[in-house]
Amino acid sequence: MATIELVQVEKLFGEMHAVKPMDLTIHDGEFVVLLGPSGCGKTTTLRMISGLEAVTRGRILLNGRDVTWERPSERDIAFVFQFFALYSHMSARQNIAFPLQAQGEAKAVITQRVADVARLLRIEHLLDVRPGALSGGDQQRVALARALVRRPAAFLMDEPLGALDAEFRETMRAEIKRLHIDQHATTVYVTHDQIEAMAMGDRIVVMSAAEVQQVGTPAEVYHNPSSLFVARFIGSPGMNLIQGHYVNGVLHLPPSNRYTVPARWVPAIQQVVGGEGDVILGFRPEAAAVVSDGPLAAEVYAADLHGSYTMLHLSLGPDEIVHSRARRETHYPIGTPVRFDLNPEMVRFFDPQTERAIVREGVPA
């Protein structure tokens, strides 16, 4: 298997940066997800790793070997495309055998390996069908089989589930994850779906506007977002972010709420803003709990039942809505005044100037 290293890799389309210089090391057997909104450069990054797109500057190393200027065919990497890219004039079997034919494998070996990979993906009964007659999920299985059959050094997947129906997506997500665990192959997976990224990735690379925002495990990017962008992008809904005014250990929030900053955050905040200044308070919906003696006052704006829990929309001011997860049994009519408290372990602070998180030693992930 393989380690993939990107050293100051950069891509320009004309004058425009598709990918700003980025460093990334993908370890052997790791499942790394490139996550970001469309147009953030995640697919371009993947295509540069595969060699389908030439890098403008920087180097790409595969197992320590510089492959920056090698052809895609020389890199020993498999690519799974969003729209499968199965050859419509060939049966599933011919599609799967196609990469092996390029290597000039013997007929018997090809037959054997196609059969093996078909069994692994449970598509043995579909081998003689043309791709056009297969369902989306089966097409993707054939595409995966075509990638797997060659036993490449690494797998690159470009939104492989994006073209599938919601029900198939869940199944295929588990299948790909399971396949990764069994095969233990280095995988780079591109998606814009943060739920997919959280569910599948060993590590997530969050990208936005051609830049890497944060690299970390799913728990890290969820609990300790490094920037406002990551805080908003990860989670549904994203992190609650309220701008307040910090004065000596107390955060003044709209309209007239006062939140006492947990003591261990005070030094870090004061280091950034001094004794007084604007600070953004961030917390996940599950960090806020409605309690009768909570320090913060709000009004119920809306309440949606999500089955296992109720999502409360609390309005602090005219434009400040925060989300809070409540027990599903509780019933809150719109307009009810409520008080709520925040779990001191789960609050985070951001500097509104730089949009970066204020960091403190020893934050648990």
- The single residue among 38, 106, 132, 306 that binds another protein, judged by CB under 8 A, is 132
Structure-block tokens of residue 175: 């299948």
Query: Considering the rule CB under 8 A, would residue 69 count as an interface residue with another protein?
Result: no
Site membership for another protein, residue 109 (CB under 8 A): no
Residue pair 335/299 in contact (Cβ under 8 Å)? The answer is: yes
Task: Tell me: does residue 86 bind another protein (CB under 8 A).
Answer: yes
Q: Which is nearer to another protein, 90 or 321 (CB)?
A: 90
Residue 87 binds another protein (CB under 8 A): yes
Binding of residue 157 to another protein (CB under 8 A): no
Report d(CA 31, CA 18) in Å as an integer.
23
Piece of 24-32, 96-104, 219-227, 312-320 that binds another protein (CB under 8 A): 96-104
User: Does the protein bind another protein through residue 83 (CB under 8 A)?
Assistant: yes
- Position among 22, 46, 79, 241 found at the interface with another protein (CB under 8 A): 79
What is the token pair recorded at 9?
Answer: 């890799």
Is 73 a residue that touches another protein (CB under 8 A)? yes
Tell me the C-alpha distance between 294 and 288, whole Å. Answer: 10
Contacting another protein within 279-308 (CB under 8 A) = none
- Does residue 187 belong to the site contacting another protein (CB under 8 A)? no
Q: Which amino acid is at 270?
A: Q
For residue 165, which amino acid is it? D
Q: How far apart are the first and last CA of the chain?
A: 29
Residue 31 tokens read as 């499942």
CB of 100 to another protein, least distance (A): 9
Binding of residue 89 to another protein (CB under 8 A): yes
| Residue of 8, 103, 112, 260 interacting with another protein (CB under 8 A) | 103
167 binds another protein (CB under 8 A): no
Render 146-195 in DSSP notation, one character per residue. Answer: HHHTT--SEEEEESTTTTS-HHHHHHHHHHHHHHHHHH--EEEEEES-HH
Q: Is 321 in the site for another protein (CB under 8 A)?
A: no
Which of 43, 44, 46, 99: binder of another protein (CB under 8 A)?
99
Q: Which of 88, 248, 256, 292 binds another protein (CB under 8 A)?
A: 88
* Listed ranges 129-137, 264-272, 288-296, 342-350: which one lies at the site for another protein (CB under 8 A): 129-137
Task: Tell me whether strands 186-191 and 31-35 are parallel, antiparallel or unpaired.
Answer: parallel
Our finding on whether 18 is near another protein (CB under 8 A) is no
Backbone angles phi, psi at 196, to 5 degrees: -60, -45
**Interface positions, 44-63, toward another protein (CB under 8 A):** 50-52
* 134 makes contact with another protein (CB under 8 A): yes
Residue 133 interacts with another protein (CB under 8 A)?
A: yes
Dist CA 1 CA 364 (whole Å): 32
Phi/psi region, residue 197 (left: phi>0; alpha: psi -120 to 50; beta: rest), is alpha
Question: If 0-12 CB within 10 Å is exposed, 13-18 middle and 19+ buried, where does residue 88 land?
Answer: exposed
Q: Which sign, positive or negative, has the C-alpha torsion 339, 344, 346, 352?
A: positive
Q: In what order do the strands lie in the sheet with 288-290?
A: 288-290, 337-342, 296-305, 309-315, 321-327
CB of 192 to another protein, least distance (A): 13
Q: Is 306 exposed, middle or buried (0-12, 13-18, 19+ CB in 10 A)?
A: exposed
Nearer to another protein, 102 or 219 (CB): 102
Distances (CA, A) of 101 to 94, 130, 150, 192, 328: 10, 19, 10, 34, 57
Is 72 a binder of another protein (CB under 8 A)?
yes
By CB under 8 A, name the one of 31, 32, 40, 84 that touches another protein. Answer: 84
Is the CB of 130 or the CB of 360 nearer to another protein?
130
| Between 92 and 312, CB nearer to another protein | 92
Q: Which of 38, 71, 128, 274 binds another protein (CB under 8 A)?
A: 71
Task: Please give the residue ranges that form the binding site for another protein (CB under 8 A).
Answer: 50-52, 71-73, 75, 77-79, 81-89, 98-99, 102-103, 130-134, 136, 139, 146, 150, 156, 162-163
